[in-house]
Structure 1
């Protein structure tokens, strides 16, 4: 499988683009999907000067291996939110994000949710509302590769 190394410098440029693309949504909460969306949500929270940056956990992959189950947990209380921008690094199959949206809309039916990602695949079950790049190969993000113990 061909792999593409995604650098910090490219991430900063793409995060800036994603901020401009999603700014008109005026989200009152940024919700990063851990782990891939944490770096993105932190950067966007800093750039947009908001402290309403939350996260939830979702597990559907173990390394490059897709699991048969979805585990979504640590869901924050979004009952006072009106617009939530869900952030993740990539929408691959889209299966996990479909489950996240289903769960969040069920728990918080009054909230408008939109999705922003750096990468997306055209074949995903769900497409982001805001995205920067199409993924055509396996992405190795700098936060996965640059620090190893």
Structure 2
């Protein structure tokens, strides 16, 4: 398999947030128009931004969790790539990218559910959230991202 050209993919940090009972956090995106899709927190890495710092920033923006309420436990050794479906290419990210290249982190909640605040950042990205069994994650995400979620789950399952 050929390695994709990284310049064609938006750099992104993904966070598998788990609680002390081993459940994973998912949020329902506010902008979801079709389907009942849930996802783990993720978002773009700003130019020059450290990837670990981007993960903590994205986690705060999407969940309201402050850095002192979480602990990074692991980082995947390689980036994961996905391509946008044809109907989305040229529409997202001002057409600059054909997909994302994601660095995934396993992050443990050290605070409590009351520390989660979806409206801490304006505009909010999630309209609802819930804890789920990690094995259900691939079934909850929009289908074109399922291979990513399968890889994240395979890598982090022993650590959850």
TM over 0.5: no
Q: Determine which structure has the larger strand proportion and give its number.
A: 1
Q: Relative contact order, CA 8 A, sep 6+: which one is greater?
A: 2
TM value normalised by structure 1 = 0.27
